[in-house]
Amino acid sequence: MLKPKISMSQLVMLLTLSRMFYTLNGILLGTGDGYGMAYLWAVPLSAVMQFILVLPALFLSRRQGTSIITAGYSLWGKGGAILAFLCGVYFLLSAVLTVFSTEQFMVNAIYPEASPIFFILTLALAAAYAAHLGLESIARCGFIIFVVFVCGVAFAFLGNWQQINLIFIRPLGTGSFGEVLRIAVNLTARSPEILLFAVLLPNLGKNGGRKRGALYYLLMSSLILEVIVFLISSVLGQLAEGEAFPFYTVGTLAKISIFQRLDAVHMSVWVLTAFIRMGLFLWAAVELFQSLMPVKKHRFVLPFLGILILAGGMLCGMDKGAANGLYSIMFSVIPIFVFLPLISIALLISEKAKDPEPKGGVSDEN
């Protein structure tokens, strides 16, 4: 099954970098309520939600020493294959949306006269190449890009330091708890990385390390997201609500002598982040689909899925209705709020009924 050979710290950086992809074009943030204090409170609440939702998978790993996929094969047989197929489809569609979102950014913000097909083809090939290199190579590349990304955010903050105005931050209004809760739910639903974390549990150290890894990922990604939301809210204010790419707009306003403007830096960092995200999700999808077929057919999986990503990106680019429908499905509460915890709990119940004593599990103390 999935046998990643990377450390927990590498996985944390990869997942954090992947989650930050949508902050750069506003999709993660654009949940219909604007920016301000509601978002700043919703980010930590979303982190708590994600940790609670992944806890059953961590408990399963404690007893079985495995992931939801491996446990599904072990306990449910063909049912485990269905589980692997569903997760593979979800990760594949996440890669498709990444390709489409990057193409939209390049065409609408950078090269308005360019052909979308060129960018979709280039991005699909880049995703296939990254997946072909494997998880270890993606992790090594991801570390460098993560450092560049953090530096880019720091430069954006420093470049806009004199333009930050706390008055621009929209305060909490009537029904503020409901607003915060709604945004937190949306943020959580738009975070497929927590499901990927649950799938990649088996070879990531002892269970205590896995719990800490989940906490470190949520803390790190939430901290960076808080900085970005604060920067957008305090620099753009209500103008951010009408911006398709608010963080890119913040970059254009930043003034740093060595860069003059940070929009070019933002573009470079965003494309590199997209490369990591596409490769990571496509690699996971390839591994899952390969588990469904004989070894002799494994070599055909990556080219086939690469073609599907290319076709999916083109379909979304030509038909905005299809793109919006895919966003609605992927960003619904079903994958993260329903699928992840219920499958983990069902596997725990099946494992408990089959063998009351833990086997293959690891201590939670390390």
Task: Please give the Cα distance from 359 to 348 (Å, whole number).
Answer: 12
Q: pLDDT averaged over the chain? A: 85
Angle at 142 between CA 226 and CA 329, to 5 degrees: 60
The residue to which tokens 């833990």 are assigned: 358
Token representation of residue 29: 């943030």
Report residue 300 as tokens.
């055909």
Percent of the chain with pLDDT over 90: 47
pLDDT of residue 266: 72
In this predicted model, what pLDDT tens digit does every residue of 161-196 receive, in sequence order?
888 888 888 888 776 888 899 989 999 999 999 999
DSSP state of 173: -
Q: Is the pLDDT of residue 302 over 80?
A: yes
Q: Mean per-residue pLDDT for 292-314? A: 94
Region of poorest pLDDT, from 94-98, 124-128, 203-207, 301-305: 203-207
Segment 109-144, tens digit of pLDDT? 777 777 888 888 998 999 999 999 998 899 999 999
pLDDT score recorded for residue 355: 72
Place 31 in a pLDDT band, splitting at 50, 70 and 90: very low
pLDDT at 358 over 50: yes
Identify the burial level of 334 via C-beta atoms within 10 angstroms of its C-beta, where 0-12 means exposed, 13-18 middle and 19 or more buried.
middle
Fold of the domain spanning 8-354: Amino acid/polyamine transporter I (1.20.1740)
CA nearest neighbour of 35 among 267, 263, 226, 251: 226
- pLDDT bin (cut points 50, 70, 90) of residue 202 is low
Measured N-to-C along each axis, helices 176-189 and 37-64 cross at an angle, to the nearest 10 degrees, of 50
pLDDT for position 1: 47
pTM attached to this predicted model: 0.90
Alpha-carbon distance of 25 to 248, in angstroms, equals 7
For residue 260, which phi and psi values (nearest 5 degrees)?
65, -70
Token pair in block for residue 302: 């990556």
Apex 64 CA angle, 349 and 345, nearest 5: 30
Q: Residues near 335 by Cβ (< 8 Å), separated by ≥ 6?
A: 90, 189, 192, 195
Residue labelled with tokens 């489409």: 100
Residues in the chain: 366
Q: What is the pLDDT confidence band of residue 218, given thresholds at 50, 70 and 90? A: very high
Distance between first and last Cα of the chain: 25
Q: Where are the alpha helices (DSSP H) in the chain?
A: 8-20, 37-64, 68-76, 78-105, 116-133, 135-159, 176-189, 193-199, 207-236, 246-253, 263-290, 301-318, 320-330, 340-354
Q: Average pLDDT in the 62-79 region?
A: 86
One-letter amino acid at 278 equals M
Instruction: Give the 3-state secondary structure of residue 323.
Output: helix
pLDDT higher than threshold 80 for residue 238: no
**pLDDT score recorded for residue 235:** 87
Specify burial of residue 340 (Cβ count, 10 A radius: 0-12, 13-18, 19+): buried
Closest CA to 283 of 2, 17, 67, 22: 2
Residue by residue, DSSP assigns 213-224 as HHHHHHHHHHHH
Mean per-residue pLDDT, 59-78: 86
Angle between helices 135-159 and 263-290 (to 10 degrees): 150
Query: Tell me, what's the pLDDT at 298?
Result: 94
The domain locations on the chain are 8-354
Tell me which amino acid residue 190 is: R
Which has the minimum average pLDDT: 5-9, 54-58, 250-254? 250-254
pLDDT band at 308 (very low <50, low <70, confident <90, very high): very high
Would you place residue 204 in the very low, low, confident or very high pLDDT band (cuts 50, 70, 90)?
low
Percent over 70 (pLDDT), the chain: 87
pLDDT at residue 171, rounded to an integer: 84
Give 139's Cβ-side CA count (13 Å radius). Answer: 12
